[in-house]
């Protein structure tokens, strides 16, 4: 098993790819937009934040290092991502955010701490086969990753985001079809047309093939500026978020048991990870 496939972030990453206009590599960390206003939705309580995902990875890494050292092999733990470099939840869920004015529809540059962590993942994938087999296991063997997970949470399976993935996608599209969101989208389109841009919705503007360039072009920035201004004028994000909040509350009521089980599993992993990191912190400071 390769490092990227071993990561517990895969399901969440796939969700983000499906529900936002941005793209990222499977094992890439998510950089922050410093001026973005956080958008919290009810279903967020049933998945892991990016910070929690990093927390679980870091705890696994510490336990893996002990296992690898016992086998006589070196294991470098992942560098931490600064809290200020972590992207807020639901950014660009309804299209471009305010940062698009600077970067167009291209991803914003990764902050240094994100670059360091991603580079460490890349370096792992280039490790010798013998080291990777010991770390992640070959057919029939679990490797140090499985040992670390067992030490971390016993027989509790890794967090399962299937319920969240299905429901958050349903909520997004259901809210999109509500009368108030359809009206806000019509207003956005009309105001974009008045500004000289012809797109049916913000997703189409972000996905324009003309933006498939190494960096944002003047035309892309101009489109993004108009996009963001028209979203604000049409109150699109406010209207869409309010509609989706109502939809998500209804879906939560309809799927209480399924979501409660998924949250309990996630919470157990996060709590166990915090204990490992707290123990490491106490050990590094030594006795008082």
- What does the pLDDT read at residue 157? 85
E strand or H helix that includes residue 219: helix 218-234
Cβ density class 209-220: b for 16+ within 10 Å, e for less: eebeeeebeeeb
- What does the pLDDT read at residue 38? 82
Q: Say whether 11 sits in a helix, a strand or coil.
A: helix
Q: Say whether 207 sits in a helix, a strand or coil.
A: coil
Listed residue (18, 35, 42, 45) closest to 108, CA to CA:
35
- What does the pLDDT read at residue 160? 85
d(CA 210, CA 217): 9
d(CA 123, CA 253): 44
Q: Is the separation of the CB atoms in 20 and 233 below 8 Å?
A: no
- What does the pLDDT read at residue 205? 97
Tokens of 202: 């913000």
Strands (E), the chain: none
pLDDT, tens only, 45-81: 999 999 999 999 999 999 999 999 999 999 999 999 9
- What does the pLDDT read at residue 197? 97
Task: Give the length of the chain.
Answer: 288
Q: What is the pTM of this model?
A: 0.80
DSSP character string of 79-112: PPPPGGGBPPTTTTTTS--TTHHHHTTSPPPPPH
- What does the pLDDT read at residue 165? 94
- What does the pLDDT read at residue 259? 95
Tokens of 162: 């299937």
Tokens of 177: 């079809």
From first to last of the 288 residues of the chain, give the pLDDT tens digit: 555 444 443 333 333 333 333 223 334 444 444 445 689 999 999 999 999 999 999 999 999 999 999 999 999 999 999 999 998 899 999 999 988 989 999 998 999 999 999 999 999 999 999 999 999 998 767 899 999 999 999 988 888 899 999 999 999 999 999 999 999 999 999 999 999 999 999 999 999 999 999 999 999 999 999 999 999 999 999 999 999 999 999 999 999 999 999 999 999 999 999 999 998 765 654 544
Q: Is the separation of the CB atoms in 254 and 47 below 8 Å?
A: no
Instruction: Look up residue 285 and give its DSSP letter.
Output: H
d(CA 105, CA 212): 10
């Amino acid at each position: 098993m390769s490092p990227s496939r071993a990561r517990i972030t895969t399901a969440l990453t796939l969700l983000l790819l499906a529900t936002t206009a941005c793209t990222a590599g499977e094992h890439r960390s998510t950089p922050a937009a410093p001026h973005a206003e956080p958008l919290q939705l009810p279903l967020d309580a049933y998945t892991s934040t990016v910070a929690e995902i990093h927390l679980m990875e870091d705890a696994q890494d510490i336990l893996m290092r002990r296992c690898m050292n016992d086998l006589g092999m070196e294991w470098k733990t992942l560098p931490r991502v600064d809290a200020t470099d972590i992207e807020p939840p639901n950014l660009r869920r309804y299209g471009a955010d305010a940062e698009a004015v600077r970067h167009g529809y291209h991803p914003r540059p990764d902050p240094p701490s994100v670059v360091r962590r991603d580079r460490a993942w890349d370096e792992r994938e280039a490790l010798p086969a013998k080291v990777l087999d010991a770390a992640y296991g070959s057919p029939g063997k679990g490797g140090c990753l499985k040992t670390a997970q067992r030490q971390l949470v016993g027989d509790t399976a890794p967090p399962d985001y299937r319920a969240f993935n299905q429901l958050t996608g349903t909520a997004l599209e259901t809210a999109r079809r509500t009368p108030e969101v359809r009206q806000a989208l019509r207003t956005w389109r009309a105001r974009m047309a008045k500004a000289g841009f012809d797109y049916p919705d913000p997703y189409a503007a972000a996905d324009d093939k003309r933006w498939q360039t190494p960096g944002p072009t003047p035309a892309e920035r101009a489109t993004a500026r108009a996009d963001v201004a028209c979203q604000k004028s049409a109150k699109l994000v406010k209207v869409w978020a309010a509609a989706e909040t109502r939809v998500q509350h209804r879906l939560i009521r309809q799927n209480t048991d399924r979501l409660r089980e998924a949250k309990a599993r996630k919470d157990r992993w996060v709590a166990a990870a915090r204990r490992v990191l707290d123990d490491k912190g106490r050990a590094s400071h030594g006795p008082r």
